Chain A
Amino acid sequence: MRPNDRRYRESHEWAQKQGDVLAVGITDHAVEQLGDLTFLDIKAKVGQKVKAGDLIAEIESVKTVADIYAPMDGEITAVNAPLGQDVEPLGQSPFEKGWIVKLRPASAGAYDQLLDAAAYEKGIAH
């Protein structure tokens, strides 16, 4: 069972409440799908306003590049710049060390509309 202290998107991002912001990363399932990670390019900038589904980062593994999206509307408040130098912590521990950006949601309700762990797992099981 994946952590219940956060919410998920079908496109394999997670969002965890940390005070009035959300930490955003990608799931272990996404990491497994991609294989050995080689590079993370965080596109989002601190202060940038994003919409749900906007590109926030690109991640490369074994010759594959995949997009990572904002889980909801909001403003970027922090980026995990060290992952751009060394993506290994994300690969090793996507839920603990793998946050990519932090985001202040534009509305309080959007978080609850994301998937809980059980719903996300049901989705990836099919």
Chain B
Amino acid sequence: MRARFLPAAIRAPALNLALDAALLEGRATPTIRLYRWAPTGLSLGRFQPREEIEALRSELGLHELVRRSTGGRAIWHDAGELTFSYVAPAPPRGETVLASFERVHRAIVEVLSIPRLRFVRDEPELLSERAGSPWCFERATELCLALDGRKVLGSAQRRVRGWVLHHGSLALPPTTLEAEELEARLSRAIARALDCELEPGELLPSELALAESLRSTCAL
């Protein structure tokens, strides 16, 4: 499979999510995106009650609140976080959702080659865990990735008409890798996970237009 690759770009929170929604609605070309957020965004999972985060908002300062179409819990998307997404035909029949998470995360561990980056299930002690927390990075499953006792990567998916939108959020300590190197390795990792060849590309005008029209549906 060949996949269009959209290199890391910085966009506003609602537009970032609206672009993924537009790609999933179009389902035309397998597409891998890396992206960052400005201004800082706070995204909630598809069914996460807004009340879980509302009480914290005054402490968190100014940000744009958005809702992902994928599952999971709240993520704080600041300059230290790198989001990736892919929109592609759903994995082979027989592969469970968890197995697809494991496939993607294993490729990330292998290709990023960061010492001590590993599955949460292999982490001796997870210090970032907080029972009942509304935050993704404080609620790990065994297939999330951890570094030095802290969850640093989580994923979520949306499945629509035989296609999947996969969201991943990576928040490594700032000194781990230069941004450009991290982005290059992460794109190679996702390509390996999907067994595809990356073709650098751009968003089509029609996709941008659709995203603009969906923007308000992502904002809260």
Residues of A that sit less than 8 Å from B by CB: 11, 32-35, 38-39, 41, 58, 60-67, 124-126
Contact = CB atoms under 8 A, between A and B. Distances in A.
A62 B47 contact: no
B66 to A, nearest CB: 16
A39 B101 CA distance: 19
B135 to A, nearest CB: 13
A38 B70 CA distance: 13
Contact of B159 (A38, A39, A67, A124): A67
Contact of B162 (A11, A35, A38): A11
Interface string B156-196: 11111110000000000000000000000000000000000
A58 B71 CA distance: 11
A61 B95 CA distance: 15
Secondary structure class of chain B's binding surface, majority of residues: loop
Nearest to A41: B47
A41 B96 CA distance: 21
B161 A11 contact: yes
Contacts of A34: 96-97
Contacts of B97: 33-35, 61-62, 64
B98 A65 contact: no
